[in-house]
Amino acid sequence: MRGMAFLFALITGSYLQAAAISSIQTGTASIATSGTTTSVNITDVNADLSAVFFTYRTSATNADDTLTYMTRTESGGDLTDIAFTRSGNPAIAVTIRYYVVTWASGVTVTDGTFSMAGTVGSASATPTFTKASSFLIFSYMTTGSAFGANNMVRGDLTGNNSVSFTRDSSTGSITGTYQVIDYSGASVQHSSIVLNTSTSNNDTITSVTTGNSFLLTSCSLSYGSTGIVQDKTVKATFSSTAVTVARAGNGGVLTCAYQVVSFSDGTTTQTGLISMANLAASGTASITSNVNYSLAIPTTMFSKNNKTSGNVTAYAVDEVSFDGTTVTGTRSDASDAKEIQVSVILFNTTASRRIFGSEGD
C-alpha cells in the first residue's frame, strides 16, 4: 500500500521442489481521468503459481479517489487479466506500476476478497497455509473521502489458515483483495509494533540474515479525528535482530503489523532508502549489484511524509520502479519531504525464466 498499495503470504510446506522463478511480467497501467477502473491483459500464466504486486501514484486528494485495489481474472486455471479499481472518479488519473511474478515450482498462491461496511472494523478469511512460512499482500479501496483512521487497514496472518484485517475507526466501507503465497524455502516472523503518541518504536526479532530477508508492514490508526498525514505514514526498517517503525508525527495510536520474510532457497535481497526533498517529484536508491529479473517493493503501504498540515491522500502513495541497478520512487504530489524504504528481491532462478515488459494499458 502506497499506496502501494499493495500485501503478501509465503509458505514452506513439505514440497520436494525448491521455489524457482519462471517469469516476471512488468508494466504500467492507468486509471483515466474521471475513470474508476482499468484492466490489463497479460500473457496467460498458471494462476496457482502467480502473484501480482503493484504500486501507484496520483494527485487526487480524497481517499476514495486515490486508494486502489487489484483483482485477478482466471480462466481454465490460468491468470489472464488483472484490473485496478478505485471507488471515486475525479478528473485526475492514477498511474500504476505492476509485477506479475510466476514461479516454476514450489509455490502455491491463494487469493480472495474481504470487506468492511458501515461500522464494521474487522474482516477475516480462511485460506489454507502455515503461518510460520507464509506472508500476506493485500490492497483495498474505500468510500470515505478524508484520509483518516477509518481507511487505514492492517493485515496479518493470525494463525494457521487465518487471515485478519483490522481498522481502528469504523466508518465508511472497505473493499479489498488479498494473496497468500505458499512458498517452499522461506520462514516468516509475524508480530506488531505500537506507536502510542510517539514517533518511533522497535521490536526484537529472531536473528535473520539481512541479505536474504525483506520486511512488509501495514498499519491502522486510532485517532479522535482524521489526523494529519505525518501521523499515518511511516518508514519501516529492519536489522538482523530488530524491526523499527518511525513517523514524523505523533498523533494517535499507530499499530503496525509486520512480516519479516527470510529465504533459504537461494533467493537474495537488498534494501535502499529513497529520499525526496520538499517539491521533489522523484528520488532514487542505488543497488550494489545488477539484479535484473527481480522485484522492487516498498516496505510499507503508506510511506513516510513529513507534511505537518492537511489530509491529502496523494501524499501517502508512490510508484516504485526498478531498472536493474536503480530503484526509483515517483509521486504525483510533491508536498514536503518524503522517505520510501524499499527492498529488492532477486528470486531463485534455478528453473528457466522469461521476462516480459510493457508500458501502458
Residue ranges covered by each domain of the chain: 20-351
115 Cα distance to chain centroid: 18
Residue 7: the pLDDT is: 36
Between CA 325 and CA 58 the distance in angstroms is 25
Closest among 18, 4, 168, 138 to 71, alpha carbons compared: 138
Q: What are the start-end ranges of the E strands in 117-166?
A: 122-125, 134-142, 154-159, 162-166
Is residue 172 within 8 Å of 151, Cβ to Cβ?
Answer: yes
- Beta pairing partners, 99: 26, 53
Cα dihedral: 345, 350, 353, 355 (round 10): 20
C-alpha cell read off for 223: 485517532
Categorise residue 333: left if φ over 0, alpha if ψ from -120 to 50, beta otherwise.
beta
Cβ-based burial of 224 (10 A; exposed 0-12, middle 13-18, buried ≥19): exposed
| Nearest alpha-carbon partner for 136 in 117, 121, 158 | 158
Contact 55, 3 (CB under 8 A): yes
Pairing of β 213-222 and β 253-263: antiparallel
Q: How far apart are the first and last CA of the chain?
A: 21
Report the side by side order of strands in the sheet with 186-196. 186-196, 253-263, 213-222
Phi, psi of 210 (to 5 degrees): -65, -25
What string of pLDDT tens digits covers the 361 residues of the chain?
Answer: 333 333 333 323 333 356 888 999 999 999 999 999 999 999 999 999 999 999 999 999 899 999 999 999 999 999 999 999 999 999 999 999 999 999 998 888 999 999 998 777 899 999 999 899 899 999 999 987 888 888 899 999 999 999 999 998 878 899 999 999 988 889 999 999 999 989 999 999 999 999 999 999 999 998 865 668 888 899 999 999 999 999 999 989 999 999 999 999 888 999 999 999 999 999 999 887 666 568 889 999 999 888 776 677 888 999 999 888 889 999 998 888 999 999 999 887 764 334 444 444 4
Distance CA 99, CA 343 (A): 14
Q: Which of 42, 2, 10 is nearest to 179 (CA)?
A: 10
- CB neighbour class for 126 (10 Å; exposed up to 12, middle 13-18, buried from 19): exposed
Specify the pLDDT at position 292.
59
User: So what's the pLDDT on residue 224?
Assistant: 64
Q: Is 223 helix (H, G, I), strand (E, B) or coil?
A: coil
